[in-house]
């Protein structure tokens, strides 16, 4: 392995470290970080928590499916 290979491996390892550190510091999943409801979401903070965005999305999908079946 050449010196360039070691530099690339070190850079990738450093970026991975920063990602993990960011997740640990925030205490949430990176998927939740960009969510508009992340400040009130209990999906990651409690064992019985729910994601309000996902819950609304599933309810709308189920309603749409039942409406289509009735037609």
The whole-angstrom separation of Cα 65 and Cα 63 is 5
pLDDT tens, position by position, 14-33: 999 988 887 677 665 555 65
**What does the pLDDT read at residue 44?**
67
| pTM confidence score | 0.41
The whole-angstrom separation of Cα 16 and Cα 14 is 5
Residue percentage of the chain with pLDDT more than 70: 66
CA angle 46, 52, 54 (to 5 degrees): 105
């Amino acid at each position: 392995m050449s010196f360039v290979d070691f530099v690339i491996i070190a850079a990738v390892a450093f970026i991975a470290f920063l990602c993990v550190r960011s997740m640990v510091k925030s205490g949430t999943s990176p998927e939740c970080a960009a969510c508009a409801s992340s400040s009130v979401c209990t999906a990651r903070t409690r064992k019985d928590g729910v994601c309000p965005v996902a819950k609304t999305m599933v309810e709308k999908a189920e309603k749409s499916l039942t409406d289509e079946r009735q037609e």
